[in-house]
Amino acid sequence: MRKTFKGLLSVAIIGICALNTTSCSNKKFNVEGQISNAADSVLYFENVGLEGISIIDSVKLSDKGDFSFSEEAPTAPEFYRLRISDQIINVSIDSTETVTIKAQYPQMATQYEISGSENCAIIKELTLKQINLHQQAMAIQENTALGVDEANDSILKIIDVYKEDVKTNYIFKEPMKAYSYFALFQTLGNWLLFNPRSNKDDIKVFAAVATSWDTYYPHAERGQNLHNIAIEGMKNMRITQGESGQTIDASKIEEAGVLDIALQDNHGQIRHLTDLKGKVVLLDFHIFAMDESPARILLLRELYNKYAAQGFEIYQVSLDSDEHFWKQQTAALPWINVRDEDGINSQRLMLYNIQSIPDYFIIDRGNNLIKRASQMKDLEAEIKKLL
């Protein structure tokens, strides 16, 4: 690791890119401002897409350094950057907003003012944090009093502190935001700080953002990409566990459009959400101890009785703390009832971005999460469309 970090202070921003999603309408966004001390320099406006970085427009700056770029507004958050030589300012756009930037060359990458976008302001904040992390890592690397193992351990510790800060104060706080997506792909040298290929906790971070984007931007290429990364990460972890001697069911290693839940049902059997592929599923998060539970269960009974024969299923996740009470309440229910013993502290609530209980999702026959409660005016109509 020590060799890997040395000399690698370039700030890579979005290492795993997505297709550029733009609107077919004439709505525009604007990125404008002024970069001083850059007369005769070429300022490039580039799209940071998952197929690579592409130049959209450019301008040769005058003595004043004024610039203005205008493009079609995207239908979901998209990422761009301003660049002169190796100096880069990252920008996210999710509407017809106007983002204004004032900077001074050649320190424009770190010393700039930005207004008109909360996401862009926080992306700047995250970028500065990332640069500071690089500087700390290099200081440790260059400390000759430290041995190789000691230096690497120290670097790993500051990385862990950094990740905890970013997870808690940025990503989990608002996983649907562009800046949370941005944070997923920050690097230290050539290393992704959040690595869903080999770290099960990092998979959860990717999954939280993926699920949130499924909800807020259901057709966005970036959201679908995140989902695929999270699923692939889970597959890799299962394979690793299998190689280490743990029992693994090879049939469970498959691409899916929904994050699996595997919990014990009220009959003592482990039930996987992904085993329901081929059915239209209502994934329901519920607390039976709530006052409104009886009325809600009656409504679910009506739906189940009406559509179960056509391939409709309910996978109900209870967050009740009292297991005996839960078993009593579910004894006569005909659908799948599982209980998460972690209750309201469950990681699954984080993965599915559950903000309040009850909440539910509709999943199609292909195991793809289609909509969540806030996106549906008529649950029964949504079920009928998918059957």
Q: What is the pLDDT of residues 296-332, one digit of tens each?
A: 999 999 999 999 999 999 999 999 988 999 999 999 9
Is residue 221 scored above 80 in pLDDT?
yes
Which is higher by pLDDT, 260 or 184? Answer: 184
Is residue 254 scored above 50 in pLDDT?
no
Is residue 246 scored above 50 in pLDDT?
no
| Low-confidence winner among 119-133, 182-196, 341-355 (lowest mean pLDDT) | 341-355
With H, G, I as helix, E, B as strand and everything else as coil, classify residue 65. Answer: coil
Helical (H) or strand (E) element with 137? helix 118-141
Instruction: List the Cα angle 168/345/289 in 5-degree steps.
Output: 145
d(C-alpha 359, C-alpha 332), whole Å? 22
Q: How confident is the model at residue 7 (pLDDT cuts 50, 70, 90)?
A: very low
**Cis status, amide bond into 106, omega within 30 of 0:** yes
pLDDT at 17: 37
Q: Tell me: the pLDDT tens digits for 64-108?
A: 999 999 999 998 999 999 999 989 999 999 888 999 999 999 999
Work out whether strand 28-36 and strand 98-104 pair parallel, antiparallel, or are unpaired: parallel
d(C-alpha 144, C-alpha 173), whole Å? 39
Mean pLDDT of 24-32: 81
Average pLDDT, the chain: 84
The four Cα atoms 178, 184, 186, 188 give a dihedral, to 10 degrees, of 170
**Cis status, amide bond into 294, omega within 30 of 0:** no
Q: Which residues contact 65 (CB under 8 A, 6 or more apart)?
A: 34, 35, 36, 37, 38, 39, 105
Is residue 25 scored above 60 in pLDDT?
no
Mean pLDDT of 182-193: 87
Mean pLDDT of 3-31: 49
Which is higher by pLDDT, 201 or 189? Answer: 201
